Amino acid sequence: MRVHVIGLGGAGGRIVDRLTAERDGDRFLHGVSAFDTDMEALDRLESIGEDRRYRFGDAAGGDGLDGDLHAGRELGEVHASELGRALDDQRPSLAEAFVLVVGVGGAAGGGVAPALAAEIETLYDAPVYSVAILPTPAESDAESSSKDGGDGGSRPNDGSSPRRPLAERNAARTLGALSERTAAVIPFDTDAWLRPGETIADARDRLNGIVADRIAALFGAGESDADAVTPQQVLDASDIARAVGDEGDVAALGYATQAVEPPETESRFGLGLFGSSEPEKVDASAAVSAVETVIRKATRGKNTVEVPEGRADRTLLVVGGPPAWLNREAIADGRRWLAEETGSGAILSGDAPVPDGEEVFALVLRSGIDEPRRIREIRESIPGGGE
């Protein structure tokens, strides 16, 4: 699926900058942009070219909004058309979807995201998805925010974690708006991914890489190079769109890898001559074990957000790696196991051959999941849990 990925605000910009550093030139990444009110934050981006960064909101004076979501919403309504035009140089009409990456605890990204989603939907016949980076409880804990070394919920605030007392309330309002304005919301539970004793500042680069990898794994599925091995089960943009959904559902991504030995190639003539080679066969039991392992890890391991009881309305499975390791029976068995695990009435699947790969991987997308505990906590931070 060819996507235009837009980083909104500081967190969104950093994640899309990481995605660009690692994936610029990949077929799925049709375009990238970063929008923010904070000029210094935009200047710190390293991989998104200056022509793809855009500061909006002169009323903010080039700085951030200090958590004022109302001000962010007003700027979003005023500047949505302007930001839509800022995409024009990257031929957005050719994108098959748009992905807004935003830290929903903030004001600039969270404020503009709903209005920009509506503007894009008006201009282009393509779905808009949101990747919502959730704040941690410590960021909104007023007591821990006022004391260095305070408990801050599950982890200490030692001065290197951000202090944003409005973060959870902003997140509740922004998540509600994104569910109404975007085809699906893919939350990333920052708190669940922090290691014991780790601060957000310590973890930032690692977490940005995790989110960027998940975006690439999902939207890059089915977008292989023209000279790559043809998949046995081909995924196209409509398959991904059908799995993710179009009614503002919450979706979770699971991903797992296992290193394998790529099969050596030997010439048909025994001496590696004449440029004609065939891969050695892989032990079937080893291939089955690798495929089964990554599918179960991607499903039951840590997802971008908790999946209550593992269930989902729709599920997408992608298994990739060296072609000789993609055992068809194991993938079919994995698909049947996944249907039982999730209770999904709709299971879509495909494979992603990587001829020179050194690992087998599985991506599991579950959409239409029950409300995760962390999102319920955020929603309950304000009366009404949203608007």
Q: What is the pLDDT of residues 323-351, one digit of tens each?
A: 999 999 999 999 999 999 999 977 999 98
Distance CA 130, CA 171 (A): 13
Specify the pLDDT at position 272: 47
H helix and E strand count, the chain:
13, 12
C-alpha dist (Å) from residue 267 to 270, 278, 280, 283, 315: 5, 6, 10, 20, 41
Compute how many other C-beta atoms are within 10 angstroms of the C-beta atom of residue 359.
17
Place of tokens 């494979």: 351
Q: Tokens representing 136?
A: 């941690």
Question: Pick from 102, 249, 310, 257: which is nearest to 190 by CA?
Answer: 102
Question: Pick from 384, 369, 380: which is nearest to 184 by CA?
Answer: 369
Specify the pLDDT at position 243: 95
Mean pLDDT of the chain: 88
Distance CA 152, CA 88 (A): 43
Distance CA 280, CA 325 (A): 11
Distance CA 31, CA 4 (A): 4
pLDDT(99) > 60 = yes
C-alpha dist (Å) from residue 40 to 10, 18, 329: 10, 17, 53
Domain 250-367: homologous superfamily in CATH: Tubulin/FtsZ, C-terminal domain (3.30.1330.20)
Distance of CA 176 to the CA centre of its chain: 18
Distance CA 12, CA 26 (A): 20
Specify the pLDDT at position 316: 97
Q: What is the pLDDT of residues 140-199, one digit of tens each?
A: 774 444 333 333 333 444 445 567 888 999 999 999 999 999 999 999 999 999 999 999
Would you say 157 is a known binding-site residue?
no
**Mean per-residue pLDDT, 249-258:** 97
Residue ranges covered by each domain of the chain: 3-220, 250-367
H/E stretch holding 175:
helix 167-181
Cα torsion angle, 118, 123, 124, 125, sign: positive
Would you say 247 is a known binding-site residue?
no
* Whether the Cβ atoms of residue 88 and residue 4 lie closer than 8 Å to each other: no
* Whether the Cβ atoms of residue 48 and residue 87 lie closer than 8 Å to each other: no
Specify the pLDDT at position 271: 46
Q: Tokens representing 300?
A: 């039951």
224 pLDDT band (50/70/90 cuts)?
A: low
| More confident call, 218 vs 153 | 218
Q: Hey, which CATH number is domain 3-220, 3.40.50.620, 3.40.50.1440, 3.40.980.10, 3.40.80.10?
A: 3.40.50.1440
Helix (H, G, I), strand (E, B), or coil: what is residue 79?
Answer: helix
The number of C-alpha atoms within 13 Å of 315 and in the hemisphere containing its C-beta is 25
Distance CA 233, CA 351 (A): 6
Specify the pLDDT at position 152: 34
Specify the pLDDT at position 230: 66
Cα torsion angle, 113, 114, 116, 120, sign: positive
Amino acid found at 300? R
C-alpha angle 123-249-224 in degrees, rounded to nearest 5: 65
